[in-house]
Chain A
Amino acid sequence: MGSGFVTLFIVSLIIFAAIAVLPGDFAKVALGRSATPETVANFQRSLGLDRPVTERYVSWIGGAVKGDLGVSFSSGPGTPRTVNSIIGPRLKNTLFLAAIAALISVPMALLFGIIAAIRRNSWLDRSLNALTLVGISFPEFFVAYVLMLLLAVKLPIFYSLARITPGMDVVEIAERLALPVATICFGIIAHMMRMTRAAIINLLSSPYIEMAKLKGTAPWIIVLRHALPNAWAPISAVIAFNLAYLIVGVVVVEVVFVYPGIGQAMVDAVRSRDIPVVQGCALIFATAYILLNLLADVIAIATNPRLAHPR
């Protein structure tokens, strides 16, 4: 458990170091060339850039813990724009999109992975393998545009833009999010399925499975009662690992489908070099990633008593 928080601390240091090693003076860049030294100094003071690095880190991380991520560089002198006001409303949208994608892809990947492992080398396994190879090697934006071309332009079933407004009912939201969710799922199901299949096949070759087979146990009971309880640890690691792909997928998909999420906000901020917003988004993504990995470790320990007592 502790190691997760240590990692989080180091990650926050790395993300913060972004400001400390900043090449060039961002206040000058933000205000343009005509800014006088006084306005630059004023602007720096209002953003807190004139204070020492350690003090800035403490106040930044202290604020982040309390849910305050600082002030965006895009705020003009006198009109502060907080990072929260930029990414706050978008965070909910991204979490919503990611949660739906995860809820659909995780059970499907597990199901297909287990089926492929049981019916190894059958035509089903081979075609699933070919499909996952395609899912792994195609860029997200390619899958997104092909889906958009087929299912939104040629056959207008879904919408090519995922603009959602408050007050939409569930059916309409589902229609608008169908293509982004499908794009994300395609990529991560492929990754997850391959690794689940490998984990199960690895287990199926162990002696106690052979024993169960020799006893005449039915194949599905072998998998569900004998293999699966031992497979939870590798599978949960696989799932946590693949949520990194989920994050990447979310960023690209949000840009393709013009979905108002933090991935898009982060890309915009990188383009305008609005460091506080980039830091805020990165901290959120990294925290989510580390917490999920931690959860995978906890599941691994909970399902395998041997891990509860470290050597």
Chain B
Amino acid sequence: MHIDHAHAPLRPIKYRRSRLSMLRKNLNRTSWPARIGLAVVILYAVMAIFAAVLAPFGEADVVSTEPFAPWSLVHLFGTDQLGRDVFSRLIYGARNSVGIAFITTTIAIFIGGSLGILSAISHPWLDYLLSTLADTLMAIPQLIFALILLALFGSSIPSIVLIIAVLSATQIFRLSRSLARNIAVMEFIEAAHLRGEKPPWIIAREILPNILPTLLAEFGLRFCFVFLTISALSFLGLGIQPPSADWGTMVRESATFISYGNITPLLPAIAIALLTVCINFVIDWFLDVASGLRDDQ
């Protein structure tokens, strides 16, 4: 490009942003709740992954002869009813509680999402069958349904994961079905059909990219619900079983201490509450970014 007429105001050339600079731009645009939220989510992830390194004591090790020891330098948050270190169990709890909720939500979004898209683009009878099934499963309040199934199969981690995943999948099914139906009637889908593309290609290249942001936000919201449901079940003594450190179970085991004004039993509950609030902050920010409404302003 020759600069012959330097006096004329040159419009800056607009490069297409790289993914990294897009990410940086979006991060710069975050509000402070979203920044706190992201920081907390990352902190939890680190805690879950490096629990064995970070925790001063083992998950189920009895490290003190004194049950319910007060807070001290050795045992930061004291010990529990068996003399296990509460601080270490809190860190391991991130792995168990958050990890199990994460796996459950992943299964749920996979089942619900794929069946929803399938239902939207396949024969009406299959659509009817799947929709009726989902509606029937949703006719019973989720916790009550989970309690029935737990009474049946007993509470072990695989059965909790599967039960909650299937029950949550009904909601995701409804959402992804209605999203995919809206996309499936668009002209570019018809064009793809006419080009002779096969259904798997259409799903992967045309439908999925269009509904992915909403599904990702749904993943976050659903994760909160799943996490709260599993915590409630554990708190009721029907979820993750001891000796695994789990936040719901930990609240239940030390709950009597509340009556003496001790806040140690509240720590795992605070851990649960903090994560759900922060995920909500992140989702709000994500939806804001994904909708692209404020882009290039």
Tell whether, in the assembled complex, residue A22 and residue B152 are in contact, meaning their CB atoms are under 8 Å apart: yes
Contacts of B141 in A (CB 8 A): 244, 247-248, 285-286, 289
Contact B144 A267 (CB under 8 A): no
Q: A219 CB to closest chain B CB, in angstroms? A: 28
Which of A15, A137, A149, A153 neighbours the largest number of chain B CB atoms within 10 Å of its CB?
A137
Across the two chains, which residue of chain B brings its CB closest to A152? Answer: B259
Q: B277: which of A15, A137, A145, A281 is its contact (CB, 8 Å)? A: A137
Measured between alpha carbons, how far is A286 from B141 in the docked complex, in Å? Answer: 7
* Cβ contact of A141, chosen from B140, B145, B153, B269, cutoff 8 A: B269
Tell me which residues across on chain A come within 8 A of B150, comparing CB atoms. 270
The proximity string for B residues 219-234 relative to A, scoring 1 for CB distances below 8 Å and 0 otherwise, is 0000010001001100
Q: Mark A83-105, 1 if CB is under 8 A from B, else 0.
A: 00000000000000000000000
**B contact face: mostly helix, strand, loop, or mixed:** helix
Distance between Cα atoms of A273 and B152 in the complex (Å): 7
Residues of B within 8 A of A247 (CB): 141, 143-144
A76 within 8 A of B: no
Give Cα A145–Cα B251 distance, bound, in whole angstroms: 10
Docked-complex contact A10 and B251, CB < 8 angstroms: no
Interface centre among B144, B154, B238, B277 (most CB of A within 10 A): B144
Q: With contacts A154-B261, A160-B259 known, is A266 near B147, CB below 8 A?
A: yes
Chain A min CB distance to B242 (Å): 14
**CB < 8 Å: which of A137, A149, A266 contacts B258?**
A149
Distance from A289 Cβ to chain B, minimum over Cβ atoms (Å): 5
List of 9 A-B pairs having minimum Cβ-Cβ separation, nearest first: A137-B276, A142-B269, A270-B151, A244-B141, A278-B151, A248-B143, A138-B273, A285-B144, A137-B277
**Is A21 engaged at the interface, CB distance under 8 Å to the other chain?**
yes
Judged by a CB distance under 8 angstroms, whether B272 is at the interface is yes
Q: Given known contacts A146-B266, A290-B139, is B151 in contact with A137 (CB within 8 Å)?
A: no
Q: A154-B261, A286-B141 are in contact. Are A273 and B269 (CB under 8 A)?
A: no
Distance (whole angstroms) from the CB of A178 to the closest CB of chain B: 16
Which residues of chain B have C-beta atoms less than 8 A from A39's C-beta?
none
Inside 8 A of B63's CB, which chain A residues have their CB? none
Expressed in whole angstroms, the Cα–Cα distance for A133 and B276 within the complex equals: 10
Cβ contact within 8 Å between A270 and B238: yes
Chain B residues in contact with chain A, CB under 8 A? 136, 139-145, 147-148, 150-154, 224, 228, 231-232, 235-238, 248, 251, 255, 258-261, 263, 265-266, 269-270, 272-273, 276-277, 279-280
CA distance A285 to B146 in the complex (A): 13
Could you say which of B236, B270, B276 contacts A251, with CB atoms under 8 Å apart? B236
Residue of A nearest to B247 (CB): A139
Extra contacts, 5 of them, besides A10-B139, A15-B140, A248-B141 (Cβ < 8 A), are A136-B280, A139-B273, A247-B144, A251-B144, A275-B152
A23 within 8 A of B: yes
Q: B260 touching A14 by the CB < 8 A rule?
A: no
B236 touches A267 (CB 8 A): yes
Tell me, yes or no, whether A269 is within 8 Å of chain B by CB: yes
Annotate A265-295 by CB proximity to B: 1 below 8 A, 0 otherwise: 0110111011100110110011001100000
CA distance A7 to B133 in the complex (A): 11
Query: B236 touching A139 by the CB < 8 A rule?
Result: no
Question: A153 touching B259 by the CB < 8 A rule?
Answer: yes
Q: What is the CA–CA distance of A275 and B152 in the complex, to the nearest angstrom? A: 8
Task: Check A148 for interface membership: any CB of B closer than 8 A.
Answer: yes
Q: Is the CB of B151 within 8 A of A160?
A: no
Contacts A137-B224, A255-B236, A286-B139 known; A145 to B258 CB distance under 8 Å?
yes
